[in-house]
Chain A
Amino acid sequence: MASSSVADQEGQVMLLGFWFSPFVKRVEWALKFKGIEYDYVEEDLTNKSTLLLTSNPIHMRVPVLIHNGNPIAESLVIIEYIDETWKQNPILPQDPYERAMARFWANFIEQKVTESTREALVSQGEQQEKIVKELKEAIEVVEGEAKAKLNDKTLFFGGGNGVGYVDIVLGWTCNWMETIEEVGGFKVLDPESQPQFHKWMANFREVTFVKPTLAPKEKLVEYFRMVRPARLGLVANK
């Protein structure tokens, strides 16, 4: 068991989430990877709880981790906090340079893959075409990284230790990307030109603490189909 201060690791861990959110899932994967017990609170995003609004007044969104009554928001910030507070099963590498590289790729994924996918979903026509093109290019970069870093022995970006920070940050693509493509009416995934990325997604889906958390496609599609028109409407009215 971890030898560092048990007092830090005790105390209540609560996660405010939403079943559908890939950002919440990331945090859950980090908690499960480390074997941390936590209370999960499902938020109604149409009627946000007082706890959520007071814990995250800036962004008013999930996920929020509350540890010993102290709230932390933003999935990447939460994951680093988890990694620094509970030392078992490290998520980020130990070496400062490797950590910098992991953070660099996490930021790249967030800005160029996650953000672009969100934009592609809520846009149409020429605007969507432009974003989809950029998204495809970003995935090509990920494919390049996968080609360089992964092989039959090293399945994940975490390297010899298995799953790591970059895998957890990129992980949402393995389940949500297909759904968003279908609902958004665009295509970026291509197993032929992205073989290593597809291999990585398949392997990530099978990770023991990931597999049970993945919602079935039909349920995700149904939710997105409901949400997209409203989001498009919001964007059009801007």
Chain B
Amino acid sequence: MAEEVKLFGGMWASLYSRRIEIALKMTGVQFEFIEEDLQNKSPLLLQYNSIHKKVPVLLHNGMPIAESLIILEYINETWPDNPILPRDPYDRAMARFWARFIDEKLIWVSWDAYRSKEEDQGKAIEEACKQLKALENELKEKEFFGGDTVGYLDIAAIMVASWFGVMQEVMKVELLTEENFPNLCQWVEKFVDCPIVKECLPHKEKMVEFIRVLLKDFLASR
């Protein structure tokens, strides 16, 4: 039976959807990308992800899977020739731990730091830097979180590679500096330079403009 793989994703600036594009391209799986207008979601999307009504959703032979980290695990298990998760259970546990850390803690704490009012900013930045330090220590001197090649945690950390740099420019708040986080900054450079990642990741300038427009009311009120 011919395999049918479809990815319902957000427009180019939607980073969670980019995670799945990168993973699918790394595995070499042929897929159709269906762009969703998040202001006007299609009936299909609402059917396939009736609980959260969000992208990305992977459709494999008619079966839908939602939640980007869960989709990454599914891809890893379904097309095992190019695994994105480590083989060793302990290394896998670490990769999962840090991916959750990024999604559940780091992003939110950093968002707080970027948008805090001046009087609260010092404390918020301190907290965000503490968390970035933890991630920096996890990476150590490795080229990628996955070792020699891009893996699950690198893909999960797309937020660090893209969103931080953009927010820094838009909000004029420095968090991820080369001085404080040399390993992470070097990782960002290497990650965005990978051919597959380059194909999928939006250009920084384009993102900066887009986010500036998105946040214009918030920025004006500051």
Contact = CB atoms under 8 A, between A and B. Distances in A.
Interface of A: 8, 57-58, 67, 70, 72-74, 76-78, 80-81, 84-85, 96-97, 99-101, 103-104, 107-108, 141
A96 B74 contact: yes
B51 interface: yes
Contact of A97 (B66, B74, B96, B100): B74
B134 interface: yes
Interface of A is mostly: helix
Contacts of B90: 67, 70, 72, 81
Given A58-B101, A58-B134, A107-B70, A96 B93 contact: no
B77 interface: yes
Interface of B is mostly: helix
Contact of A108 (B51, B63, B65, B89): B51
Given A81-B93, A84-B92, A85-B89, A104 B101 contact: no
Given A81-B92, A99-B74, 11 more contacts: A72-B94, A77-B96, A77-B100, A81-B89, A85-B89, A97-B65, A97-B74, A100-B65, A103-B70, A104-B67, A104-B70
B73 interface: yes
A104 B65 contact: yes
Interface residues of B, number: 22
Interface in B50-79: 51, 60, 63, 65-67, 70-71, 73-74, 77-78
B33 to A, nearest CB: 20
Nearest to B74: A100
Contact of B93 (A80, A100, A104): A80
B176 to A, nearest CB: 18
Contact of A74 (B66, B77, B92, B97): B97
**Pairs of residues from A and B, 7 with the lowest C-beta to C-beta distance, nearest first:** A96-B77, A84-B89, A81-B93, A100-B74, A100-B65, A103-B70, A72-B93
